[in-house]
Structure 1
Amino acid sequence: MEKFNLTVIGSGPGGYIGAIRAAQLGMKVAIIERDKPGGVCLNWGCIPSKAILKCAEIYETFKRSEDYGIKTNGLSFDYSKVIEKSRKASNTLTKGVEFLFKKNKITLFRGVGKLISKNKVGVIGENSQQEVDTERILIATGSVPRTFPGLEIDGKMVMTSDEAIMSTEFPDSIIVIGGGYIGAEFAYVYNSFGSKVTIVEMEKHLLPGADGEVAEELERVFKKSDMNVLTGMKFKELKKSKKSVEVTLEDTEGKGEEKKISAAKVLVAVGRRAVANVAPSSLSYYRDSEDLGLKELNIELTKQGFIKTDDSYMTSASGVYAIGDVIGPPLLAHKASEEGVVAVEKMSGLKSKVHYDNIPSCVYCQPEIASVGLTEEQVKEQGIKYNIGKFPFRANGKAVGVGDTEGFVKILSDSKTGEILGAHIIGHGATELIAEIGVAKTLESTPLEIGITVHAHPTLSEAVMEAALAALGRARNF
């Protein structure tokens, strides 16, 4: 029987990138995928959602086309075509992953992976079962939407992001429970196309964990666009009728305040849980009761249900590794990819490390949001003396010219050393602009290096330069 140096379970951003890096390092690699290559990110998450968000952004632009001297009559949309475009994007990239497997001589097994021993993985296919012999195993099974009692998912009136990303039915009203990045993005999409949207978050602000000023700015913009934003409220009860869903909310401060809201649909976006102890699948031949086999190998989990690993990403079972969402937050595709690379490099004896303090976080609604490093709240909690530089996009020439002036760039630096502690951007193009600051942090640069770097004019990137100069007390255009 053919034996592999490494068998990867899951072909999402962590699994497939890790597999490719392993192949580059000379390993004979197998990868097991229960569904489509590329995992959730390519098929039901990052990629299709960005296609849908772009459609929403274009529609929003057309709604204010007269600001650009363009008249549009009878503006309308076909949401089924929006979803169709997103599926095309996913399918294109899925084929790309399959090509990369062939290019790197990675053997793809289709089916559900189950640990049999430290050196053997079972593959449960639709009509067959087989075993794969391997020297090492890398678990990269990702995560699935979380829900809780009382919010049972029917896939039609009560959905998670998995169903929403595929649904061609556009609701005239929707309640989004959860104000994190997934909830914010879907709320923006539905609101842009004309749905009456209520977004509910139990914390004080949307985007819990984000910089406070950024969260407040997003709330302001959402409210300005006629979105109903309810913070400090949590789910209590849900009642369904034939045509609508009624949700009862209660305040989180124990004041006894309740609100009842009705809508055509409810989107549950209350986070994600690891596919660790149980590996749910839409595939009919696989049952939720069949887990990954972690108990048989005595692989330890955290209290939150994530797989425990050491610094080399090895689990409590020697030779069995895990990376990505399945080992815990931040639940980000690019974090999973980097962990996949580092894990296989460590297997090969290379010195490698994930710099967790320099992993960007992005939200792709409009205005976009991007962050790297510490928030201002975290800097204060750590007692660090800091300088702050802010620059609004309304003072940026390119932003004014193209008509996207919401938001700002904010840079925090250590007042003694000049070290960039964190940066936060909310505004058009934020997710592209954050990389410059990430590079600066990697190179241990200070705001001075960003500030004296000549940025082309007019560009949105000048706002980054101006924020850096503002941290030095030298902003030029504000």
Structure 2
Amino acid sequence: MAHYDMIVIGSGPSGRRAAIQSAKLGKSVLVVDKRRRVGGVSVHTGTIPSKTLRETVLNLTGWRERGFYGRAYRVKRDITAADLLVRGSLTLDHEVEVLDHQFARNHVETVASATASFVSPTEIRVVTAFGESETHTADHVVIAVGTRPFRPGYVPFNGTSVFDSDEILGIEKLPRSLAVIGAGVIGVEYATIFSALDVAVTLIEPRPTFLDFIDKELIEEFVHELRDRNVSLRLGSEVESVEFDPAGRPLCKIKSGRHVASDMLLFAAGRVGETDALNLPAAGIAVDHRGRIGVDPKTLQTSVPHIYATGDVIGFPSLASTSMEQGRLAACHAFGLAPPPAPEFFPYGIYSVPEISTVGMTEEEVLKRGIPYECGIARFRELSRGQIMGLTSGMMKMIFSKKTRRLLGVHIVGEGATELVHIGQAVLNLKGTIDYFMENTFNYPTLAEAYKVAGLDAWNRAFAPAAAAPELPDLPEAATA
């Protein structure tokens, strides 16, 4: 038995940050991960592989050049599933190597291919893949186990034609058609990635709307582009069952009777916390129906004060970026270091094709709060850089307070959205106003110039001084009577 200042269960974004932050404070740290290599869901089946897949698809298909050379343009004519996996393997190896090095130079102990479970609130049993078992004690514990895809019983997952969002990364052959159940972030990302490969995609969602946390005007723009690419949207369609048709293809039976048959089916409707094996009752911690752990949002403490939970296992926003900060904040709080208060706004990125990124309030939220406001719009096709890149779509929407002139939100759909949003994030968190965009110079030609264009658009609508009334010539009294 060994004693540690901190034991971290899981080595994803929040786990690694909690471990390294603790080590930098001079604490003894053990990281336990069930996988053979560190990195967690983010590196092995989530953020990194899915975004690498997206980039590979855009490169091999010549997607970014089609504005010039037409929809038939290809960098590689016959793209195979194997082509898509090569870059992913290289990227994964790099990410794991970097993480191994970070742990080594900060003297963080790691145990891979091992499961961790609570014996008591302060005791953790670690069992390796070889059956070796040790029990360690810790002053503090961070649970950063992440999530796994939700797999309902009515879906006949088989790993060949019916997949969850982890399995889809290992497909052996590209389908001619794909049905995606679930229009959340993951479902939308994979639906649009496969659509960029010219796979016929049907996106099925039981709710009448999707991605409701995104500004509605942006979603309208996004939907227009998807329909232009022949992506079929079946909103408000509840799937009753999934069967196989006479040809052996997955068949989604929808309550309305409008069934969907496809070569391949991806179920991407939700995820559940990887908490089953932790024996949380022994620690005095409960989970919800999706295996998620409740925490104090300010400290990340669970119902047991010395045990913290971070990352996807605590639910929204389930972003790698916010998970990293959660891990750091948990470690700082555990060892009495008060970090600065978290910024009010953080960016949200959806790596669909095209990208969507947003920070601050949506127009719907501004309306709900009763704030007088005005919007400015910039379309990428109207920018010189957009013309150089051959962009035919994409837009930026900025929202300003008419009373204080402050920036309230930035919403972008189109090429580079997840990179562009950070300018808006900085101005928003520094409580900047429309004057910043009016008075500052942006590199030309760049897509960032959209900030200037959208700012001018809002200024002309709401803040420009009214033109002086023209002077009338003197008229006889009879004419003015």
1:164-189 deviations in Å (ceiling 9; x for gaps)? 01223211111011112211221122
The residue aligned with 1:259 is 258
> For the Cα contact (< 8 Å) 2:58–2:64, is it kept in 1?
no
AA matched with 2:104: K
The residue aligned with 1:254 is none
The residue aligned with 2:59 is 58
Provide the secondary structure at the position in 2 that maps to 1:436: helix
Within the alignment, does 1:104 sit opposite 2:109 as a pair? no
AA matched with 1:262: A
How far residue 243 of structure 1 moved from its aligned partner, in angstroms, is 2.7
| Change over 3 Å in CA distance of 1:86–1:320 after alignment to 2 | same
Give the structure with higher Rg (CA): 2
Distance across 1 between alignment mates of 2:274 and 2:264: 26
The residue aligned with 2:305 is 318
AA matched with 2:184: G
> For the Cα contact (< 8 Å) 2:3–2:138, is it kept in 1?
yes
> For the Cα contact (< 8 Å) 1:342–1:354, is it kept in 2?
no
Provide the secondary structure at the position in 2 that maps to 1:411: strand
How far residue 119 of structure 1 moved from its aligned partner, in angstroms, is 2.0
> For the Cα contact (< 8 Å) 1:440–1:450, is it kept in 2?
no
> For the Cα contact (< 8 Å) 2:65–2:390, is it kept in 1?
no
> For the Cα contact (< 8 Å) 2:175–2:263, is it kept in 1?
yes
AA matched with 1:183: G
Q: TM-score, normalised by structure 1?
A: 0.90
Match of 1:307 among 293, 297, 302: 293
| Change over 3 Å in CA distance of 1:426–1:71 after alignment to 2 | closer
> For the Cα contact (< 8 Å) 1:59–1:192, is it kept in 2?
no
AA matched with 1:20: I
1:51-71 deviations in Å (ceiling 9; x for gaps)? 111122124426965935998
The residue aligned with 1:274 is 273
1:33-74 deviations in Å (ceiling 9; x for gaps)? 110311111111111111111122124426965935998798
Which shifted more, 45-54 or 374-383? 374-383
Within the alignment, does 1:295 sit opposite 2:281 as a pair? yes
Within the alignment, does 1:170 sit opposite 2:187 as a pair? no
Identical aligned residues as a percent: 28
AA matched with 1:140: A
Q: TM-score, normalised by structure 2?
A: 0.89
Structure 2 residues not aligned, in runs of 5+ = 463-481
AA matched with 1:441: L
How far residue 410 of structure 1 moved from its aligned partner, in angstroms, is 0.8
Match of 1:400 among 383, 387, 395: 387
Match of 2:129 among 126, 129, 133: 126
How far residue 267 of structure 1 moved from its aligned partner, in angstroms, is 0.3
> For the Cα contact (< 8 Å) 1:405–1:427, is it kept in 2?
no
How far residue 292 of structure 1 moved from its aligned partner, in angstroms, is 0.7
Distance across 1 between alignment mates of 2:94 and 2:171: 20
Distance across 1 between alignment mates of 2:403 and 2:289: 39
Distance across 2 between alignment mates of 1:74 and 1:57: 11
> For the Cα contact (< 8 Å) 2:301–2:308, is it kept in 1?
yes
> For the Cα contact (< 8 Å) 2:67–2:391, is it kept in 1?
no
Superposition pairs of residues 138-153 of structure 1, within 5 angstroms: 138-153=142-157
Distance across 2 between alignment mates of 1:142 and 1:248: 31
Distance across 2 between alignment mates of 1:234 and 1:400: 41
1:444-471 deviations in Å (ceiling 9; x for gaps)? 2123223322100000000022223333
1:139-175 deviations in Å (ceiling 9; x for gaps)? 1111111233412422222111100012232111110
> For the Cα contact (< 8 Å) 2:181–2:266, is it kept in 1?
yes
CA-based RMSD: 2.3
How far residue 79 of structure 1 moved from its aligned partner, in angstroms, is 1.9
How far residue 435 of structure 1 moved from its aligned partner, in angstroms, is 0.9
Match of 2:333 among 335, 340, 346: 346
Match of 1:86 among 78, 85, 88: 88
> For the Cα contact (< 8 Å) 1:391–1:466, is it kept in 2?
yes
> For the Cα contact (< 8 Å) 1:161–1:267, is it kept in 2?
yes
Distance across 2 between alignment mates of 1:63 and 1:449: 31
Provide the secondary structure at the position in 2 that maps to 1:204: coil
| Change over 3 Å in CA distance of 1:258–1:209 after alignment to 2 | farther
Within the alignment, does 1:443 sit opposite 2:455 as a pair? no
Structure 1 residues not aligned, in runs of 5+ = 251-256, 279-290
| Change over 3 Å in CA distance of 1:71–1:380 after alignment to 2 | closer
Match of 2:252 among 220, 226, 247: 247
Distance across 2 between alignment mates of 1:191 and 1:326: 30
Distance across 2 between alignment mates of 1:153 and 1:71: 35
How far residue 382 of structure 1 moved from its aligned partner, in angstroms, is 2.4
The residue aligned with 1:230 is 234
The residue aligned with 2:17 is 17
Distance across 2 between alignment mates of 1:382 and 1:304: 32
How far residue 425 of structure 1 moved from its aligned partner, in angstroms, is 0.2
1:251-291 deviations in Å (ceiling 9; x for gaps)? xxxxxx32111111110111222223x1xxxxxxxxxxxx2
Distance across 1 between alignment mates of 2:357 and 2:428: 15
| Change over 3 Å in CA distance of 1:132–1:379 after alignment to 2 | same
AA matched with 1:107: E
The residue aligned with 2:470 is none
How far residue 433 of structure 1 moved from its aligned partner, in angstroms, is 0.3
> How many pairs are equivalent?
457
The residue aligned with 1:114 is 117
| Change over 3 Å in CA distance of 1:19–1:185 after alignment to 2 | same
| Change over 3 Å in CA distance of 1:421–1:303 after alignment to 2 | farther
